[in-house]
Amino acid sequence: MTQPVRLCFVCLGNIIRSPLAEALFWHYAEQRGVAHKYEVDSAGTGAWHIGEPPDPRIRRVAARHGLHYDHRGRQIHPDDFDRFDWFFVMDDDTYAHMMALASLRGQGHKVRYLREFDPQAHGEREVPDPYYGGEDGFELVYRVIDRSVQGLLEALESGQLSSEQEA
């Protein structure tokens, strides 16, 4: 049997963007009947929210879209580079942090921006962090991550991106 492709979505605190990406990926993979082909997790670069559930504001937005999920925040660990095939980051700071960790193991090829897979990104790499903003920012982030995750799943399923490929 083929090994599952192992993905980890990463943001700053692991309570808004990365757990939403994880939940949306599972949703679309299950919808397409391909969830068995993947292992998916999320993490944050910071330790502030370890063990905490997702921010209630993003959960409300997700619920309005029919998505309900459970999650507890965790911090990325260098050993995660042995566990995962790909890391999909949300912003430049997270990218820099992950590349610093990856360089210790020569695995920078595993780190990508999630927004690379957003067909409406128009060159923008970052998924904005809505933490200090209003409800409209959370809705925007939901839509950006939703599009990006669908694009990512399509890239994986079409073979444009695989666990053996080095970026």
Catalytically active residues are: 11, 17, 129
- Which pair of structure tokens corresponds to residue 54? 């997702």
Q: In angstroms, what is the C-alpha Rg of the chain?
A: 15
User: From CA 38, how far away is CA 7, in angstroms rounded?
Assistant: 7
Is residue 39 within 8 Å of residue 4, measured between CB atoms?
Answer: yes
Q: How far is CA 34 from CA 9, 37, 38, 146, 150, in A?
A: 18, 6, 8, 17, 13
Of residues 44, 37, 42, 48, the one with CA closest to residue 23: 42
* Residue 62 near residue 69 (C-beta atoms within 8 A): yes
